[in-house]
A and B are shown apart, each in its own frame.
Chain A
Amino acid sequence: MLLAGLATGGIYALVAVGFVLLWQTSQTINFAQGEFVMLPAFFVLAAMKFGGLSFPMAMLAGFAVSLLVLGLLFKRLVVDPVICHGVLPLVISTIALAILMKEGVKEFYAADAQPFPAAWATTNLQVAGMVVSVQNLVIIAVAVLAVAALQYFLGSTRTGRRMQATAQNPALARVLGIPVGRMVLYTFLINAGLVALASFLVSPIYLAKFTNGETLGLVAFVAAIVGGFNQVRGAIAGGLLLGVVDNFVAAYLSAQYRAAIPLFLLIAVILLRPQGLLGRAEERTV
């Protein structure tokens, strides 16, 4: 049970981390984040169906296309033209983008759920008398690896540290000679990569469907805030927490109100510790 919660939480964490990165670096609140997770799976399916590629090749192709579309194109076509008008229009724009992506998949691919092949065995193990699902283990492993890699990249490589500098103070970063535009682009690409990964992990279980993004998006937002939106670690913590709590509540408390858990956590955090569980208190910059 805990394992399942951690697995779900791992997915949430991946999505929340990307979301937080975007927010931190470029003031982009991406309301389409959930749909970003929905889409890569369809790139893969399309590659297999229309391109005739084998599954592994299709995964690579799907990953690459995701980076391109959800990273580069998203930044150039959607974010850049609108962000000069402020954060509010950008938020609305991403809401419209989410609708566009959903309808696009529905129209051009299929309205019903599609089976998505798993890249690993769908068997079960018997560990200490409990049935443990290999899928859950793989998800946790991959999520942990991805986040660890990201942390390493951000903390220990030159580019990573430059990205952090850009996030904390873009004006100063520019003065220091850091190519801010490029750093921002990297965050978009990283987000695209993270959501693609989440997509490949989650679609075999949930089936690929155009509505997949709705719940995932909501949870990602709440995870980011609950964990502390100005720290990547916060997003991870938030995601894991939500995943575990969601599963436990559904199993032992009320299944009917399970979807309200994010709200309660959110209100609680806002009232008691507004910077999030792991976040730093932020000052308003005048």
Chain B
Amino acid sequence: MKPKSGTDHVFLFPSMIRGKRGLSLIFALIAVALLIGAPFGLKPYGIYLLSLWAVMTIAAIGLNLTLGYAGQISLAQASFVGIGAYTAALLTTQGWPLGAAFALAALLCFVIGWLLGYPALRVAHHYLAFVTLSFATLVFLILRNEEWLTRGVYGISGIPRPAPLGWSTKAPQDFYFFCLGVLALASIAAWWLLRSPWGRAFTALRENPIRASSLGIDTRRYTLMAFAIGSALGGVAGVLYAPLVQFIEPTAFTLGLSFNLLLMVIVGGAGRFFGPFLGAAVSVLLPEWLRFSEGLYLMLYAIFVMVLLAFFPSGLLGMAERLRASWPRSSKSAS
């Protein structure tokens, strides 16, 4: 096992931390069991929330690539979700299978992400934030104004639930498992990506861009790839979102959602593999838990984020890591 060095934030899967392997595996198994068992005790609304969580997590994983690993702020993730959703809606209402939508949306978002990031990253780091900010507005306007394509403000309704290989997902429970399946695939893909030589280069970038470029890594190319892949994942999430809500219109895909996704990644822990999962859970469930406070919950959430950033900029998972690291030596002898 490689010794833990300063730049080893890369390997964040808990099993890499000495002596914790057994515990983490059990943790993971419990989580998976809960996820599979959860819908059986819930009403349709609860199942809907879980499905929404899965969809948001996929988008957050994408944003985590851009933000947490490549260190870029993207405020257009919601727009990519929107592009994915409209692609799915337009295709499936014409009778095409959802799989085609997945492929097309991922490709489209990847290309657009690349084209968008290219000029922005040419200049300086922080520019991508503003370019994506303006892009988000543009996408919304296009979705709204180009009625001939998107039906504009009237939206697209009656989006059918997919039937992969004949299994109908009309029932909330069935669709939830479909979402869970897609989430699993996306996670595995992301995991594989991060462990590959590509992925290691990404993280090298984040830690020290100047050293990376001195080592001959084309900083810009990797950042661009991260952004493009992250955007493609956003598109994938969108493709799943359309059949979930079965009616889409442009106002769902504006800056508000982009901010939400951003906060999910940050709160969960940017640059941590499971950060998006946790962050999405917090974001989707918090309004429910805080419902008693009605309007205040957004304020509480915002304050929570600000305080979190002041003390634990690596999010909740970062906080957990620090706490775990500060446990006394006795844990080490467990290996």
A and B directly contacting (CB within 8 A): yes
Residues of A within 8 A of B (CB): 29, 78, 81-82, 85-93, 95-97, 99-100, 103-104, 106-107, 214, 218, 221-222, 225, 256-257, 259-260, 262-263, 266-267, 270-271, 274, 282, 284, 286
Instruction: Return chain A residues, CB-CB under 8 Å to B138.
Output: 260, 263
Docked Cα-Cα span, A179 to B309, in Å, equals 27
Chain A residues near B71 (CB-CB < 8 A): 88
Choose among A91, A100, A257, A274 the residue that contacts B123 (Cβ–Cβ < 8 A): A274
> Measured between alpha carbons, how far is A270 from B119 in the docked complex, in Å?
7
Measured between beta carbons, the chain A residues less than 8 angstroms from B295 are 103, 106-107
Asked whether, in the complex, the Cβ of A96 is within 8 Å of the Cβ of B210, the reply is no
A90 to B310, CA, bound (A): 9
C-beta contact mask, B119-157 vs A, less than 8 Å → 1, else 0?
110111011011101110110010011000000000000
Q: Which one of B123, B144, B145 lies within 8 Å of A270 (CB-CB)?
A: B123
Q: Are B309 and A270 in contact (CB under 8 A)?
A: no
Q: A residues within 8 A CB of B309?
A: 82, 85, 89-90, 92-93, 96
**Given the interface contacts A89-B313, A257-B145, A270-B119, does A222 sit within 8 Å of B134 by beta carbon?**
yes
Q: Do A96 and B130 touch (CB < 8 A)?
A: no
Q: Is A93's CB under 8 angstroms from B305's CB?
A: yes
Supposing A96-B302, A99-B259, A256-B145 touch, asked if A266 and B131 sit within 8 A by C-beta, the answer is yes
Q: How many residues of B contact A (CB 8 A)?
A: 40
Residue of A nearest to B260 (CB): A99
CA distance A104 to B120 in the complex (A): 34
Residues of B contacting A85 in the complex (Cβ-Cβ under 8 angstroms): 309-310, 313
**Cα A263 to Cα B134 with chains together (Å):** 5
Evaluate contact between B137 and A259: CB separation under 8 angstroms: yes
Taking the complex as formed, is B73 at the interface, i.e. its CB lies under 8 A from any CB of chain A?
Answer: yes
- For A90, the chain B residues whose CB sits under 8 A away are 309
Assess the A222–B130 pair: CB atoms within 8 A: yes
**What is the chain A residue whose CB lies nearest that of B303?**
A100
Could you tell me the distance between the alpha carbons of A285 and B141 in the complex, rounded to whole angstroms? 38
Interface residue? B12 (CB, 8 A): no
Q: Does chain A have a CB within 8 A of B165?
A: no
**Chain B's nearest CB lies how many Å from the CB of A22?**
13
C-alpha spacing A93/B305, complex, angstroms: 7
Q: List 8 A-B contacts (CB under 8 A).
A: A29-B129, A95-B263, A96-B302, A100-B298, A100-B299, A100-B306, A107-B296, A263-B135
User: Nearest residue in B to A262 (C-beta to C-beta)?
Assistant: B134
- Evaluate whether A99 and B302 lie within 8 angstroms (CB atoms) in the complex, with A256-B145, A259-B141 already known: yes
A106 CA to B299 CA, complexed, in Å: 10
Instruction: Compute how far the CA of A180 lies from the CA of B123 in the bound complex, rounded to whole angstroms.
Output: 29
Q: Compute how far the CA of A257 lies from the CA of B143 in the bound complex, rounded to whole angstroms.
A: 11
A256 and B153 alpha carbons, distance in the complex (Å): 12
| Chain A residues with CB below 8 A from B73, complex form | 88, 91-92
Q: Determine whether the beta carbon of A96 is less than 8 Å from that of B145.
A: no
* Contact A225:B127 (CB < 8 A) given known A95-B262, A260-B141: yes
- A256-B145, A270-B131 known; 15 new pairs, CB 8 Å cut-off, are A81-B311, A82-B309, A86-B313, A89-B309, A91-B126, A95-B263, A99-B299, A103-B295, A104-B299, A214-B255, A218-B133, A218-B134, A260-B134, A263-B134, A271-B119
Q: Are A97 and B141 in contact (CB under 8 A)?
A: no
For window 275-330 of B, CB contacts with A under 8 Å fall at: 295-296, 298-299, 301-303, 305-306, 309-311, 313
| Closest B residue by C-beta to A256 | B145
